[in-house]
Amino acid sequence: MGLIETASGNSVWRGMEYYRNHKVVSWNKSGKNTYEGVVLGSEGQNYTVHIDKAHPRRSVCNCRFADGRRVVCKHMIALYFTAEPEAAEIFLKQADEWENEEEERRKQHFADLRKYVNGLSKNELREQLFSALAELEERRNRYW
């Protein structure tokens, strides 16, 4: 599992934002699969970052989120994307593909739902409608 897969979705997207806003102040390749760098944080503080692509949980950052924990933070992702911009491009392409697939699944779901509803008899349709309205009313009463 790589850095992106190990990080939370929020960390990846915030890291992408940091990458796009050029928040990585400096960086260098320190080994075959490792990078060191300094990333400017949201409050103007510089964070020292080490990422290990082969062992993401060995990556470290001195930010509040990651310091002393085995997690991948936004600063690590920003450094990774800065050092390997093709990884950022691949990630964005995969995100676009997933969103397009999700949209197709949504369209297919509603097409299947329409087909199901059109196949119901008038009495079945009335029963389904009543059940749906009763459930909606129950939910509303629970929250009010």
DSSP string across 21-76:
TT-EEEEEE-SSSEEEEEEE-TTS-EEEEEEESSSGGG-EE-STTTTTSS---HHH
Compute CA distances 21 → 65, 98, 144, whole Å: 20, 24, 44
Q: Which residue in 21, 135, 129 sits closest to 75, CA to CA?
A: 21
Same domain, 9 and 52: yes
Question: Are residues 78 and 102 located together in one domain of the fold?
Answer: no
Residues 16 and 71 in one domain: yes
Do 29 and 61 belong to one domain? Answer: yes
State how far the Cα of 28 lies from the Cα of 86, in Å rounded to an integer. Answer: 17
Instruction: Say if pTM beats, i.e. exceeds, 0.85.
Output: no
Closest CA to 38 of 25, 19, 52: 25
Pairwise CA distance, residues 87 & 42, whole Å: 23
Given 66, 83, 100, the domain boundary residue is 83
> Range of 131's domain?
91-143
**Number of domains the chain contains:** 2
Same domain, 78 and 121: no
**Residue 1 pLDDT class (50, 70, 90 cuts):** confident
Q: Do 77 and 12 lie in a common domain?
A: yes
pLDDT of residue 26: 97
137/111 same-domain check: yes
- Taking 80 as the threshold, does the pLDDT of residue 39 lie above it? yes
- Tell me, yes or no, whether 13 and 62 share the same domain: yes
Averaged pLDDT, 71-95: 96
Q: Clarify whether residues 79 and 103 are in a common domain.
A: no
Residues 54 and 74 in one domain: yes
- Which band of pLDDT confidence, cut at 50, 70 and 90, is reported for residue 143? confident
* Statement: residue 98 has pLDDT above 80: yes
Q: Does residue 20 surpass a pLDDT of 90?
A: yes
